[in-house]
């Protein structure tokens, strides 16, 4: 997890003002923040919430290591063990740049096991697995990674689950091993009815 000094150093290294970083984080997470929030994080007066911790690492192009991921879990998170999101989900992932746009639809099979959500998609062009956690306040956050030997794509995602537990929407960051994050897109999940 990034400490106050690292947040400021990485922001300055990227050439971002606090306003620019706030806008980028808002775009990534879907939750509005302003420069005063960034200032409080950099001065240690406040800590970013879990969704903004993930967004910071993604926007500032730092690799989310296993240690960082574990730290997020260990921060006294109240994992929702009662909510079960096991089942088949129809998903749609999309991104758009100045030169191209891309959309992929597939089916994701999820299984909740205690505090962990695991999933697998064999239907997509890029077959992948996920490892995620579901928090009590309705966020699903985790890692995705390809399961093809010749491809080493991976990334992180943060989705907000609706009250009924049958829809989720958020952001997904994709990268290739040993490269900077390259794709930020939206990811939507809709649970299939039985």
pLDDT tens-digit profile of 86-127?
888 898 888 776 677 778 888 888 887 655 678 888 765 667
Q: Which pairing describes strands 183-191 and 101-113: parallel, antiparallel, or unpaired?
A: unpaired
**Does the pLDDT at position 71 exceed 70?**
no
**Main-chain phi, psi angles of 36, to 5 degrees:** -65, -35
Q: Which residue has the tokens 């697995």?
A: 129
**Main-chain phi, psi angles of 7, to 5 degrees:** -60, -50
Q: Which two tokens stand for residue 175?
A: 């990268």
Residue 182 or residue 186, greater confidence: 186
CA distances from 88 to 5, 127, 158, 162, 184 (A): 42, 15, 19, 16, 24
Beta bridge partners of 134: 140
Domains recognised in the chain with CATH numbers: 4-74 (1.10.260.40), 87-191 (2.40.128.20)
Lowest mean pLDDT among 1-10, 28-37, 57-66: 57-66
- Rounded to an integer, what is the distance from CA 89 to the centroid of its chain? 17
Q: What is the pTM of this model?
A: 0.59
Of the spans 43-47, 49-53, 70-74, which averages the highest pLDDT? 43-47
Q: Which pairing describes strands 139-146 and 153-161: parallel, antiparallel, or unpaired?
A: antiparallel
| Closest residue by Cα to residue 21 from 36, 31, 11, 8 | 11
């Amino acid at each position: 997890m990034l400490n106050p000094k690292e947040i400021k150093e990485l922001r300055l290294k990227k050439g971002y003002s606090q306003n620019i970083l706030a806008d980028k984080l808002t775009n990534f997470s879907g939750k509005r923040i302003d420069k005063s929030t960034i200032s409080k994080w950099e001065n240690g007066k406040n800590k970013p919430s879990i969704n903004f911790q993930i967004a910071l690492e993604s926007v500032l192009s730092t690799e989310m290591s296993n240690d960082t991921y574990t730290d997020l879990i260990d921060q006294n998170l109240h994992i929702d063990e009662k909510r079960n999101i096991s089942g088949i989900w129809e998903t749609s992932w999309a991104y758009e740049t100045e030169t191209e746009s891309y959309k992929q639809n597939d089916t994701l099979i999820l299984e909740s096991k205690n505090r962990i959500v695991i999933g697998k998609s064999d239907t997509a062009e890029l077959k992948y697995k996920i490892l995620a956690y579901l928090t009590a306040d309705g966020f699903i956050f985790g890692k995705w990674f390809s399961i093809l030997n010749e491809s080493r794509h991976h990334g992180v995602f943060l989705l907000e689950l609706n009250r009924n537990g049958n829809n989720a929407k958020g952001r997904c960051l994709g990268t290739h091993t040993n490269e900077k994050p390259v794709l930020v897109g939206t990811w939507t999940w809709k649970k299939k009815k039985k």
